[in-house]
Chain A
Amino acid sequence: MSQPVTLPKWVDLALAPALNVATAFAISALVVLAIGENPVAALRALVAGSLGSWEGLGFTLYYATNFIFTGLAVALAYRAGLFNIGGEGQAYVAGLGAALVCLHLDFLPAILLIPAGIAGAAAFGAAWALLPAWLQARRGSHIVITTIMFNWLATTLLAYLLVNVLREPQSMQPETRVFVPAAKVPQLHDMAAGLGLKLPATPLNLSFFLALVCAGLVWLLLWRTRLGYEIRTVGISPTAAQYAGISNARIIMIAMALSGALCGGLAVNEIMGVQNRLLLEFTSGYGFVGIAVALMGRAHPVGVVLAALLFGMLYQGGTELAFDQPKITRDMIVVIQGLVVLFAGALEGVFRKPLARLFSPRPAATTT
């Protein structure tokens, strides 16, 4: 009973996770049925709304951009054996970093200002993740509890700053002034218009490609560098890593800093790509979606990108669906998200034993 269940590789990597995700969606369908709507029609509306038009596709990719960043952040920390539940707070503080750069270095041309803003977001996100990491590595406090606390601290800090410090004196809204045009990450429909192509206006901007590049870099880091090897070693066995001369404390802090910096991408997409000002609660829970995305993508960059696209579809399609069938509000997406986290994460092993029975009828003869 306590022996790890061994499965053929394709079952382990594809079939078991697919079954888990399918279960999450099956239960979501039951929820739709329970509130008296037709799940098939809902699914059709969802797919049509997210992929059926250029506009829908643009919004889908825009949402996916957020989820690639936060999914990669959770996945990278996860590989180091850390559960970074603080992506929401890190992205929120990263927004402050991006805003400070965009507000105070506004004399720079776009070619310098945008990279500076991205660096500001990454630095602030990394710093907000580094504190809990330092507390875990050096003072032994549990990273999950501290990152939860840091999420709330970020909320109160930003609320204070936006209401009392950063707000325009004559404005009633708790938000900064609008950034200079040079700080705006170009949106795809504007660039296409420059080339003579006419695309519908969507928030999709170049951050999407930055996210894909980051996915590639995370893969390179984890599987092609010495540091990545160390990160994975610490994640699999901290004691073995220690014995091999790897400093656990150092790896914890590096992995969390990188994770926080990746969350900064969410701020780049929202603050510099779409809103062009810092405002309250701009993260709107996207940081938590990263947990679902990373678990569904099995903490691998390719999996994360695919899962992020699926969640992008859910968010965009869900908005359209809420127009189409008013009884299914956007909260349905949060339910699906929670079910995915439950089945692809916490109940990950639920199908493994039956599958093992199916695929290896007599495992005892070979293993003992």
Chain B
Amino acid sequence: MNEAIDSLAFILASGIRLGAPLLLACLAGLWSERSGVVDIGLEGKMLAAAFAAAAAASVTGSAWLGLGAGVGASLAFALVHGYASIDQRGNQIVSGTAVNMIAVGLTALLGAAWFGQGGRTPPLEGAARFQPIEWPGVAALADVPLLGPVYRSLISGHDILIYLALIAVPATAFVLYRTRFGLRLRAVGENPAAVDTAGISVRALRYGGVAICGVLCGLAGTYLSVAQAAGFLPQMTAGKGFIALAALVFAKWRPGAALATCLLFGVLDAVAIRLQGVALPGVGQVPVQAIQALPYLLTVVLLAGFIGRAIPPAASGVPYVKER
């Protein structure tokens, strides 16, 4: 019994760890798309942030300076996307594609040129990484059934960025639904002409959404290279930005649902790792690829309207042209 609880807690805990970067990127996409700017460049921004953060952390030895560099790099890419989408009224899909390509190439190129290890950054140790935080009382509760392992693995023992990701959910919900800025931001994603008529700048609001998106992607990328792993590997995001995009669609652009979806996808990932080569009773061996494909498959089915309906913000992807 205790063993089952232990291993369940273990899977859920690694689900949280795998879901956290998805959650940050998903919320990033939520901010951008709620303001009317479609962003398929989440992947690229995460990758750029992961590289910048690991590079800065390894040079300075400080995880916090790494975080600053990661957020800065991601923000820079976000603003390029914003400039193309908002000021130049360019195709937002094309711009997002460009961000992804430039990030893949530039991180590997600079990594190889600066560190000479085939694109990797040197391994990070000690203060150059975000370490798990042990909450008080873990030892005292260790022998309590159920509560002990849950407290130890699920609540305690994560690093600061995971707690930040979890705090970002209510924060996003609060700002989006309970503040004037949030109301305006949602309005600009649905009907920018109305916002413009009310004398509020569409441009400023959309830049706001894009900038918040950049910061959150920066946190997601930094988490990958400075907290989860101990350094940067070329293409280490491996499609997480696109799973986050899928999660965003699946969550129907709502923060609470984003949390649930990303945790679900994270747990799926954890289960896939756990089930590798294990034969389940009655089912036999479940191919890892089947579980890996689930997030994409679920999103396609949802988008097709077979389970509910996912309707994006009405004006997302459409550049705003002032009427004359």
Bound complex: CA A133 to CA B87 (Å): 31
Bound complex: CA A295 to CA B94 (Å): 9
Contact of A338 with B95 in the complex, beta carbons under 8 Å: no
Question: Which chain A residues (178-233) contact chain B, with CB distance < 8 Å?
Answer: none
How many residues of chain B get a CB closer than 8 Å to chain A's CBs? 54
Residues of A within 8 A of B98 (CB): 338-339, 341-342, 345-346
Residues of B within 8 A of A346 (CB): 84-85, 88, 90-92, 94-95, 98
Closest 4 CB pairs of A and B: A338-B101, A334-B105, A346-B95, A338-B102
Task: Answer yes or no: A355 CB below 8 A from chain B CBs.
Answer: no
- Chain A: CB-nearest residue to B312: A142
Extra inter-chain contacts (20) besides given A163-B289, A345-B95, CB under 8 Å: A2-B323, A31-B106, A35-B110, A35-B114, A36-B113, A135-B300, A141-B300, A141-B303, A149-B246, A149-B300, A156-B293, A328-B109, A331-B104, A331-B108, A338-B98, A342-B80, A342-B98, A345-B91, A346-B92, A349-B89
Most buried by B among A139, A327, A332, A341: A341
A interface vs B, CB < 8 Å?
1-3, 31, 35-36, 83, 85, 135, 139-142, 144-146, 148-150, 152-153, 156-157, 159-160, 163-164, 288, 291-292, 295, 327-329, 331-339, 341-342, 345-350
Bound complex: CA A332 to CA B108 (Å): 9
Of the residues A1, A35, A83, A139, contact of B305 by C-beta under 8 Å: A139
Bound complex: CA A135 to CA B297 (Å): 13
Bound complex: CA A157 to CA B94 (Å): 27
Contact of B299 with A149 in the complex, beta carbons under 8 Å: yes
Bound complex: CA A54 to CA B234 (Å): 33
Contact of B88 with A350 in the complex, beta carbons under 8 Å: yes
Bound complex: CA A144 to CA B303 (Å): 11
- Chain B: CB-nearest residue to A291: B97
Residues of B within 8 A of A328 (CB): 109, 113
Question: Which chain B residues (63-116) contact chain A, with CB distance < 8 Å?
Answer: 80, 83-85, 88-95, 97-106, 108-110, 112-114
Of the residues A145, A146, A164, A338, contact of B105 by C-beta under 8 Å: A338
Contact of A85 with B293 in the complex, beta carbons under 8 Å: no
Of the residues A36, A141, A164, A341, contact of B94 by C-beta under 8 Å: A341
State how many angstroms separate the Cβ of A353 from the closest Cβ of chain B: 10
Task: Answer yes or no: B40 CB below 8 A from chain A CBs.
Answer: yes
Bound complex: CA A336 to CA B245 (Å): 25
- Chain B: CB-nearest residue to A138: B304
Contact of A159 with B289 in the complex, beta carbons under 8 Å: yes
Contact of A142 with B303 in the complex, beta carbons under 8 Å: yes
Bound complex: CA A51 to CA B299 (Å): 46
Task: Answer yes or no: B324 CB below 8 A from chain A CBs.
Answer: yes
Bound complex: CA A345 to CA B92 (Å): 10
- Chain A: CB-nearest residue to B242: A148
Most buried by B among A3, A36, A152, A349: A152
B interface vs A, CB < 8 Å?
40, 80, 83-85, 88-95, 97-106, 108-110, 112-114, 119, 234, 239, 242, 245-246, 249, 287, 289-290, 292-293, 296-297, 299-300, 303-305, 310, 312, 321-324
Chain B contact surface mostly:
helix
Contact of A83 with B93 in the complex, beta carbons under 8 Å: yes
Residues of A within 8 A of B234 (CB): 331
Residues of B within 8 A of A153 (CB): 293, 296-297, 300
Known: A295-B94, A349-B90. A160 touches B290 (CB 8 A): yes
State how many angstroms separate the Cβ of B237 from the closest Cβ of chain A: 13
Residues of A within 8 A of B289 (CB): 156-157, 159-160, 163
State how many angstroms separate the Cβ of A266 from the closest Cβ of chain B: 18
Contact of B94 with A345 in the complex, beta carbons under 8 Å: yes
Known: A85-B93, A164-B287, A342-B80. A150 touches B300 (CB 8 A): yes
Of the residues B85, B239, B324, contact of A152 by C-beta under 8 Å: B239
Bound complex: CA A288 to CA B112 (Å): 23
State how many angstroms separate the Cβ of A263 from the closest Cβ of chain B: 16
Residues of A within 8 A of B103 (CB): 338
Known: A149-B296, A346-B98. A2 touches B312 (CB 8 A): no
Contact of B88 with A335 in the complex, beta carbons under 8 Å: no
Bound complex: CA A172 to CA B289 (Å): 18
Contact of B40 with A329 in the complex, beta carbons under 8 Å: no
Contact of A145 with B299 in the complex, beta carbons under 8 Å: yes
Of the residues B105, B239, B322, B324, contact of A333 by C-beta under 8 Å: B105
State how many angstroms separate the Cβ of B248 from the closest Cβ of chain A: 9
Bound complex: CA A236 to CA B113 (Å): 45
